[in-house]
Amino acid sequence: MVFSRAFMCLLFLSAITALGFAQFPTQTVRWRTVASGNLSSETRQKVVLASERTELENYWLPVLKQNRSQPLVDFSKDRLVIIFVGARSTGGYSAQVTDVINGGGSTATVCVNELTPAPKTKTTQGQTSPWVMIAIDRSYLDISARIQKVEDNRLPSFQINPLTSFTPIPWDQCGYGLGGSWSDPCGYEFDNSYDFQNWCNRNRFDAPIGYGQIDFSINRLLYISAGDYGIGFGLRVGNVFASGQLTVVQVERNGVATNSTQRSYVLAAVNRQSKNVVVEYIVGSDECYLGNGMDFPLATSGTMVVNTQADYDRLTGKNWTNAPEDIQRFNYAKNNLGVAYLGNVNSQVNYTIDRVAYRGPTAMVYVRKTIVVGGGVGSLTRPYFAFKLPKKVTGIKVIDVSN
C-alpha cells in the first residue's frame, strides 16, 4: 500500500463516480445511523429488524417514544436495525454504533458502544433504556449485536462507514461579496426575492446585484458564508450535493486575497428540491494533514480526537512506538489530534483521501479506495490518517465516496 502527500490535493472538482470492485476480498457493509435515544419502553437487551414502514411505525411512537418525524428510509434497498441495550437505573447512558462487520452471506454483527456516565457525574434520576437505530443494506437478514461498555468521558468515536449516497445537484453561482457577522460557516435558503430582501434588511446586509435573475419557479436561492474561514480570502463553491435529507454545499478559498477583515460569502441558485442546507469548507493539506501509516494500535476501526497528551496515552496504551514524529511531539495547546483508522484492510486495497472538509465541530474525511491490479489476496494492513485539527473540531466522520 502506498500513501503520498499528494493525495491531499483538493480534488473536489472531480465528479463523484461509482467504482466497482468485484475483487475486493472482504465485503464492506453499507450502513448509517438514523436515530437514537434513551427513553424507550423496552427493558431488555434486544435487536429488532424493521423491513418496511409499518414495522417502523409499530416501534417509533409506542416503544421508542418519538414524536418527531420518522427517518427517511428506502425500504426497497435498506432495512432498519434497532439495538436496545436494556434498562438502566439513571440517566447518562446512551448507545452508539461504531462499526458493522460482515459475517459472510447475509449475516452481520453490529458493534455498539454503551456509553456510561463517568464516576461522580451528575445524572438524571429514574429508569432509562438507551437504543440506537441504523439503516443497513437489505441483503443482511441475520443480524446480531456486540455491545461493550465505554465511559462517556472517553473521547467520542464516530461511524467509519456510513451508508451515504451522493446525488449532485445542479447549481449556478449568482453572487459573491463581503459581509455578514457569522463566525461559523452557515447556509440559508430563500424561496423568493421578497424573503431574501427582508432577511437582508433584518441583518443589515447589502444584497449583491445579480440574484434577481433567478427563476424562483424552479430554483431557490442559497446564501453561503464560510464564517471566519472566509476572512481575507474570496470563496468559490466546490460541490453541491444531496446526502440523505441534507443539501451539502462545499466551499473553499479561491486563493484571492481580499485585503479585508470582512467575511466572504457566495450566492447560488439550486433546484427547489434542495433543503436543510449545511455548509462544509474544504481545507488543504498544509492546514490539517499530519501523516499516515499502517500500524495503528487500536483493535477496531473508528476515529479519535485527542485534546491532551493524557488522553493520547490512555487511548493508545502508550504502545504506538512507530507513530510519526509529528504525532509523538504533537502540540495540544493550539490544536486537537485527529486519527481516522480504517480497520484491517487487505494490502491490495489502497485508500486515499479525496478531500477533507469541516462541518461545524466535525471533520468530514472523504476517502476513496482502489484495488491494486494483479496478484491474489494480500496480507492485512491497518491503515490510518492523522490530522491537526482546530480546537473547535471535536469529532471525525469518515465517508467512503468510492461506491
Domain ranges for the chain, please list them.
5-12+288-400, 31-151, 170-273
Q: Which three cell numbers stand for residue 111?
A: 458493534
CA atoms of 147 and 98, how far apart (whole Å): 10
- Condensed to tens digits (0 to 9), the pLDDT of residues 332-391 reads 999 999 988 876 677 777 888 888 999 888 888 888 888 776 655 567 777 888 999 988
pLDDT category of residue 129 using cuts at 50, 70 and 90: very high
- Condensed to tens digits (0 to 9), the pLDDT of residues 265-279 reads 888 888 887 777 888
SS3 of residue 248 by DSSP:
strand
Residue with the larger pLDDT of the pair 167 and 307: 307
CA atoms of 389 and 167, how far apart (whole Å): 28
CA atoms of 227 and 385, how far apart (whole Å): 27
pLDDT at 329 over 60: yes
pLDDT category of residue 64 using cuts at 50, 70 and 90: very high
Average pLDDT for the chain: 79
Q: In 3-state terms, the chain is what percent helix, strand and coil (to 5)? A: 10, 45, 45
Residue 182: its pLDDT value, please?
80
Residue 301: its pLDDT value, please?
62
CA atoms of 113 and 253, how far apart (whole Å): 38
Q: Which three cell numbers stand for residue 33?
A: 445511523
Single-letter residue type at 140: Y
Which long-range contacts link 316-320 to residues 24+ away (Cβ below 8 Å)? 320/295, 320/296
CA atoms of 369 and 367, how far apart (whole Å): 7
pLDDT at 7 over 60: no
Q: Among 246, 249, 272, which residue's Cα sits nearest to residue 190?
A: 272
